[in-house]
Structure 1
Amino acid sequence: MTVGFIGGSGIYESLDIEDVREERVETPYGEPSAPITIGTLAGTEIAFLPRHGRNHQYSPTEVPYRANIHALKQIGVERILSSNAVGSLREDLPPQTLVIPDQVFDRTSHRCSSFFEDGVVAHTSFAEPYCPHVASHLAACADATDATVVDEGTYVCIEGPQFSTRAESEFYRANNWDVIGMTAIPEAKLAREAELCYATVTGVTDYDVWKQDAEVTLEEVLGNAAANEQSIKQLIERAIETLPDERDCDCGQTLEGAINTPSDAIPDETRERIDLLAGEYL
């Protein structure tokens, strides 16, 4: 059982991983953000991928999301845990709170959010964007940390890399969304298409810009993100240590009945590219 973890290098470096090795993976969608680091945590093999690259060189829009998800699928990952830095849209979710969202609202517009293109169409279910089994497992591990952990909430994903305007921030609050970030999409969508379980724990770093006298700065974000790392580490480690061996969800059958293009109409080059993802359905 190999568990994938996508997050920041700071959290990875704090995890108690043994027998570490690196694996370079080539995918039909280019190279992932970095070579995959594989090791053992509490007897479970874990594959870590820094979302923004080792030197944080990829902006939220430029992250090679498709290569990242495909690379983890290639090495045998079936479940992905992730972490995201987010802003809070609620007074009662102050910085250094952890939130495990169950919903996403997509406000991005410049990212490729599907593996299925160039002659093949697949309509996958995304009503529950996070695997409910893995998300509930993360929530059940809340006692591993002293931080406040909030179960459920809506993550609104914006394009970035700029922070919100005040008008945008107030609009998001008026819709009763809970946290705001830049990296949940298309990661969650691609994990679903790859039939991987996927859930995240988000660490609140700021109040976005809706709060009076609040002005998001990189210094504030980085400071609170560093403070959140220990709490996220504790929760992730407990989750991996106690993760059930079997998947108790439908994520592994997402593509069943979802491909709308007749198999014989799909170009050979496209079939080859999506073979790992959908070969059994073609």
Structure 2
Amino acid sequence: MSDARLAIIGGTGLTRLRDLEITRREVMHTPYGEPSGPLTYGQYHGHEVIFLPRHGAQHTIPPHQVNYRANLWALRNAGVETVLAIAAVGGITVEMAPGVIAMPDQIIDYTWSRFHTFFEGDGMEGVTHVDMTYPYSQELRETLIAASRELGLGAVEQGTYAATQGPRLETAAEIDRLERDGCDLVGMTGMPETALARELELRYACCAVVANWAAGRSKGLITMDDIARNLEIGMARVKQLLPEVIGQL
């Protein structure tokens, strides 16, 4: 087990952590299969962290095929207690403009056919329910928010994340439905990752980077070029934020 107690899960646009002084990589085998890649250990601005790219080092794993259970189990088995999850999302409501970073405080799960729990299979002594009233660690969210304020990043400090199945993007009518449901952001990786982290009693929060307006929220179609440009803007803010957050933790 390492001394690292903090892990960063990188999403689209963050397949490697710049400024991470890598000390070693560890291939993990779990009861749930293989994680998205080796755990990368290193010193990040003077603090030991573990980095794991959610979609693999070459961004080849689509959101509905990420092995969320293996990823979270591997991090917990490595001694991680706190997880900062970075995710690229679409903006639904007006404050969630492309390039903005946001710290959601709620999530709604619209995914299906994914392995959503560790509490199943042979050997279970009984049914286990996990409270998800507040799905993200409020303490960790407050640290993210305080660091964002300190740096003047203009982050949106709350919002509801709609977790959809993917890998396709949503229709305009689907986005209208999500907004009626109270969603501000839409992404494809928030669940079951958030729930699995809670089952493992990890302190977990999401920093979402708005890569595009969701379907029907802007003129024209969503293009990969637009997403890439907005991710570059948003990820630059994330890279400012992370050292400050880790220092406070």
TM category, shorter = over 0.9
Q: Does 1:91 align with 2:97?
A: no
Q: 1:230 is aligned with what amino acid?
A: A
Tell me the residue number matched to 2:20: 17
Any idea what the Cα deviations from partners look like across 1:140-160, whole Å, max 9, x if unmatched?
Answer: 110354532011110000000
Q: Does 1:49 align with 2:30?
A: no
Any idea what the Cα deviations from partners look like across 1:255-277, whole Å, max 9, x if unmatched?
Answer: xxxxxxxxxxxxxxxxxxxxxxx
Residue 19 of structure 1: CA displacement?
Answer: 4.4
Tell me the residue number matched to 1:253: none
Tell me the residue number matched to 2:106: 103
Tell me the residue number matched to 1:153: 159
Q: Which runs of 5+ in 2 are unaligned?
A: none
The alignment of Structure 1 onto Structure 2 pairs a total of residues equal to 243
Aligned partner of 2:61 among 55, 58, 63: 58
1:1-282 residue pairs with structure 2 within 5 A? 1-8=4-11, 10-11=13-14, 13-119=16-122, 120=124, 121-143=127-149, 145-243=151-249
Paired residue secondary structure (1:239): helix
Q: 1:29 is aligned with what amino acid?
A: Y
Any idea what the Cα deviations from partners look like across 1:122-164, whole Å, max 9, x if unmatched?
Answer: 1111111111111111111103545320111100000001111
Separation in 2, partners of 1:57, 1:39? 23
Separation in 1, partners of 2:136, 2:222? 27
Cα distance change, pair 60–11 in 1 and its aligned pair in 2 (3 A): closer
Cα contact 2:91–2:97 (8 A) shared by 1: yes
Cα contact 2:92–2:186 (8 A) shared by 1: yes
Residue 224 of structure 1: CA displacement?
Answer: 1.2
Paired residue secondary structure (2:63): coil
Q: 1:39 is aligned with what amino acid?
A: G
Residue 39 of structure 1: CA displacement?
Answer: 0.5
Any idea what the Cα deviations from partners look like across 1:165-197, whole Å, max 9, x if unmatched?
Answer: 111011112223111100010101111111101
Of 215-224 and 133-142, the range deviating more from structure 2? 215-224
Cα contact 1:11–1:230 (8 A) shared by 2: no
TM-score relative to the length of structure 1: 0.82
Residue 227 of structure 1: CA displacement?
Answer: 2.1
Cα contact 1:10–1:229 (8 A) shared by 2: yes
Separation in 1, partners of 2:190, 2:203? 14
Q: 2:96 is aligned with what amino acid?
A: L
Identical counterparts, % of pairs: 37
Separation in 1, partners of 2:140, 2:198? 13
Cα contact 1:104–1:154 (8 A) shared by 2: yes
Cα contact 1:15–1:237 (8 A) shared by 2: no
Paired residue secondary structure (2:94): coil
Separation in 2, partners of 1:18, 1:231? 20
Separation in 2, partners of 1:52, 1:95? 21
List 4+ stretches of structure 1 deviating above 6 A. Answer: none
Separation in 1, partners of 2:129, 2:168? 31
TM-score relative to the length of structure 2: 0.92
Cα contact 2:15–2:56 (8 A) shared by 1: no
Larger Rg: 1
Separation in 1, partners of 2:140, 2:153? 20
Of 7-16 and 146-155, the range deviating more from structure 2? 7-16
Q: Which runs of 5+ in 1 are unaligned?
A: 244-282
Cα distance change, pair 178–98 in 1 and its aligned pair in 2 (3 A): same
Residue 17 of structure 1: CA displacement?
Answer: 1.9
